[in-house]
């Protein structure tokens, strides 16, 4: 008996989530066919409806899955049982995860098919147990950038209309990751499917039919240094004093404890050396870098591309006047320059950062060290560590860390 037509106020519901491929006539197993036959409320994307509508009962209700999802789930509350169609395996970056997150008390049954990356691996007769998977479907570049910086051997990528195979290839070439080849699978599971293995320059020039996915395979190693010598950076007007020296930079990152942090702010980035080293060594980080000088924008672009470090958000302007609401709240901050506004900067950071967050400052004089200690205490920070380091014939630098109480 169909239980989908009844109105149920604030119902958590029962969901049958059925994975399908892009075959123009999806094949259902016996159990799924029986579930479809006795229900009248169905949901999925417009593309899914185009594939399954011929197999649905004559009188049925269809709920399109479109953004905003709040409206979709509000409609779901009107029904006790719903059959949802999704692509491939609904638990593989799929809609079943969304239902679990939004309705943790809902009863869910999943009927998976091979996901698109599995199908592509099958077409290539490629073992995929060691494949690192990234979804760019409605998501930012962050996890893809991370996989590149980490030098993953084999990366499976789910795409969308913005993150196309051509756009992905262009990004890889822009940051120097030409040591990969790319295989694109188009409309897999359909009679018109196509699989092509390409070099990145060729992939960047082509258009590909949607839906598609790709597997990127490393063809050669790319150096990932630990501690970039300062003479390798593009410098501000060639001024070597305007960059954090490599040993000081590594000590600074160590005292920030970035392996356990999520969002790192580099205030006064100048050449971008600290941001770039941080992102290279800790690719999981969300890195936001601030610089008052317009020249910093070009330096960050040049240096991040030179060292193969995509994903740093560079913000140019006076930090004390920047609208910070759109950037990830920091749990680690390095102050490399303050323009006489150290107290204001610390007060802003203290107002945003959660307790336990850490700030590191490099002091080149007793005056600046005393200033930091005073302003840190006044804004709720506690000094937790300091270390004096001398590099070559340069004056000693005190690297000092303060944690928010």
- 77: which 2 tokens? 């509350």
- State residue 238's pLDDT score: 57
Distances in Å between the Cα of 249 and the Cα atoms of 44, 226, 227, 343, 387 are: 50, 11, 8, 23, 13
Average pLDDT score over residue span 262-286: 96
| Cis before 237 (ω within 30) | no
Average pLDDT score over residue span 308-321: 96
Closest CA to 165 of 151, 180, 182: 182
Tell me the angle at which helices 273-281 and 246-256 cross, rounded to the nearest 10 degrees.
Answer: 60
- State residue 204's pLDDT score: 97
- State residue 25's pLDDT score: 76
Torsion sign (Cα): 316, 318, 322, 326: positive
Dihedrals phi, psi of 204, to nearest 5 degrees:
-70, -20
Q: Beta partners for 363?
A: 398
Binned at pLDDT 50, 70 and 90, residue 242 comes out as: low
Report whether pLDDT(183) > 90. Answer: yes
- State residue 233's pLDDT score: 87
| Cis before 79 (ω within 30) | no
Binned at pLDDT 50, 70 and 90, residue 234 comes out as: confident
356-403 pLDDT, tens digit per residue, is 999 999 998 999 999 999 999 999 999 999 999 988 777 899 999 999
Average pLDDT score over residue span 43-70: 93
Task: For the chain, give the mean pLDDT.
Answer: 92
Average pLDDT score over residue span 242-255: 89
Closest CA to 337 of 264, 266, 261: 266
């Amino acid at each position: 008996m169909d239980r989908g037509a009844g109105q149920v106020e604030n119902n958590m519901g029962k969901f049958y989530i059925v994975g399908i491929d892009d075959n123009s006539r999806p094949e259902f197993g016996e159990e799924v066919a029986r579930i479809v036959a006795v229900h009248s409320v169905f949901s999925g994307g417009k593309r899914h409806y185009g594939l399954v509508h011929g197999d649905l009962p004559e009188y049925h209700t269809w709920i399109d899955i479109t953004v905003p999802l709040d409206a979709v789930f509000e409609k779901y509350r009107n029904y006790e049982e719903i059959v949802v169609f999704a692509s491939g395996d609904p638990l593989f970056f799929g809609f079943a995860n969304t239902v679990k997150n939004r309705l943790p008390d809902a009863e869910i049954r999943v009927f998976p098919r091979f996901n698109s990356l599995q199908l592509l691996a099958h077409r290539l007769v490629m073992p995929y147990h060691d494949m690192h998977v990234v979804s760019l479907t409605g998501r930012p570049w962050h996890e893809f950038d991370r996989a590149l910086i980490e030098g993953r051997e084999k990366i499976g990528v789910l795409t969308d209309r913005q993150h196309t195979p051509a756009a992905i290839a262009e990004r890889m070439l822009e940051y120097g990751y030409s040591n990969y080849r790319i295989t694109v699978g188009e409309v897999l599971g359909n009679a018109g499917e196509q699989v092509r293995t390409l070099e990145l320059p060729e992939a960047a020039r082509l258009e590909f039919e949607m839906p598609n996915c790709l597997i990127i395979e490393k063809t050669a190693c790319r150096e990932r240094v630990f501690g970039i010598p300062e003479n390798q950076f593009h410098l501000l007007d060639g001024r070597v004093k305007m960059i954090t020296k490599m040993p000081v930079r590594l000590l600074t990152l160590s005292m920030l404890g970035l392996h356990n942090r999520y969002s790192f702010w580099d205030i006064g980035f100048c050449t971008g050396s600290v941001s770039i080293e941080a992102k290279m060594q800790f690719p999981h980080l969300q890195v936001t870098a601030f610089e008052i000088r317009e020249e910093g924008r070009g330096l960050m672009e040049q240096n991040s591309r030179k060292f193969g470090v995509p994903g740093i958000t560079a913000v140019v302007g006076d930090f004390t006047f920047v609208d910070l609401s759109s950037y990830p709240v920091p749990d680690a901050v390095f102050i490399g320059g303050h323009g006489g506004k150290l107290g204001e900067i610390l007060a802003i950071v203290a107002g945003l950062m959660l307790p336990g967050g850490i700030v590191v400052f490099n002091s080149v004089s007793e005056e600046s060290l005393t200033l930091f200690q005073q302003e840190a205490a006044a804004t709720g920070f506690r000094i937790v560590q300091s270390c004096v380091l001398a590099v070559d014939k340069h004056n000693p630098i005190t690297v000092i860390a303060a944690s928010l109480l």
